[in-house]
Amino acid sequence: MSVYYSIIIPAYNAEKYIEQCIQSVLSQSSSDYELLVIDDGSTDHTGAIAGEMAEQNSSISIVRIPHSGAGAARNEGVRRAKGKYVIFLDADDYWTNPELLGHLREKLHHREADVVMFQMDKYTEDGKLLKKYRKGPFPSDKEFYRLKEVYETLVSDGQVLASSCNKCVRRSLLEDSHIVFQEGGFAEDIDWVLQLFSHVKSISFLDEISYAYRQHRGYSVSNDRQGPEYQARMVQDWAGRLKRHEVENARAVSGLLAFEYGICLGYSQYLSTEMKQMLREHRYLLEYALDRRTRMIRNFHRIFGLQLTCAAVRFYLFLRRI
């Protein structure tokens, strides 16, 4: 039987959450999907729990790989996927809308867009809704858009989100454009979204909150010192691609890259000497700012310079965490 959606869950030591995650898919009113759980070398009971659920439901497939990271696990899922569209779901998160797949299908019935985006909420580990992270409504005057019609609105409102999990993506786009997750690194979602929006032609929106993102206590990009370094190198790489005119949707990607550069300024104290020099050389990226916060960083930098701007962004990120 053909399936319309391939839902890919990379799972690593998620025994506390994996049952709720999988059950949120099984609770969908639509059943035209396959569920690929990629057990990324878990050392707890994640694989056993998912395996028991797979025994009771033929739509679930368990794939076990050596521990390689979320990027590699997602890539493995895409390689095995058979659905027309791919949706990613992280093992410690879950869907809150049992009509998500059905409503996505209704959108795609009118026009098979490259991407359909849906809304997500952030929750604490104990289930408290973090309303301050909730985004505004998506564009809604049409069922279907060319990316160039809406990219400025999406970036300026922070709607693009450096997440693969609020996007239903045509599988052939991923395969034909060779869009893959970086493996063995950090911030793989950011790089993947930049790749995606380099190639997307058409986009649609489901303005329904359907995804619950679980924000773990004490989480910060700076918790792992390699994270900011990797993110800075990614900014450097994409800036080079833009200069070489290798990016098709250059203006959209420039706006996203300006935002990520602004974040790097806040973690400059964790960067190597080489990447600190990169920040100085790539200050021009702020001129591509589309969203309000990056424009504020740009204006602050014009007045006070790089060092004080890094300190100001660092303080802002600290306030956001608390």
pLDDT of residue 222: 45
**pLDDT range class, residue 318, cuts 50, 70, 90:** confident
**Alpha-carbon distance values, 69 to 12, 24, 41, 184, 217 (Å):** 8, 23, 9, 6, 21
Give the least confident one: 162-171, 211-220, 273-282.
211-220
pLDDT tops 60 at residue 221 = no
Q: Where are the domains of the chain?
A: 5-215, 221-321
pLDDT of residue 107: 92
pLDDT in tens, 88-109: 999 999 999 999 999 999 999 8
CA 140/CA 137 separation, integer angstroms = 8
pLDDT in tens, 108-143: 988 889 999 999 999 988 888 988 778 888 888 888
Q: In this predicted model, which residue has the larger pLDDT, 187 or 295?
A: 295
Give the least confident one: 18-22, 113-117, 186-190, 298-302.
186-190
22: amino acid identity, one letter: I
**For the residues 291-316, what does the mean pLDDT come to?**
95
CA 243/CA 245 separation, integer angstroms = 5
Stretch (H or E) spanning 76: helix 70-80
The neighbouring-strand residues paired with 60 are 35
For 5-215, CATH number out of 1.10.10.10, 3.90.870.10, 3.40.640.10, 3.90.550.10 equals 3.90.550.10
pLDDT of residue 217: 58
**pLDDT range class, residue 28, cuts 50, 70, 90:** very high
Longest dimension (CA), the chain: 62
Kindly report the backbone phi and psi dihedral angles of residue 164, in degrees, each rounded to the nearest multiple of 5, phi listed first: -85, -10
pLDDT of residue 192: 94
pLDDT in tens, 249-286: 898 889 999 999 999 999 999 999 999 999 999 999 99
Count the Cβ atoms, other than its own, within 10 Å of residue 27: 12
Residue listed under structure tokens 């049409």: 142
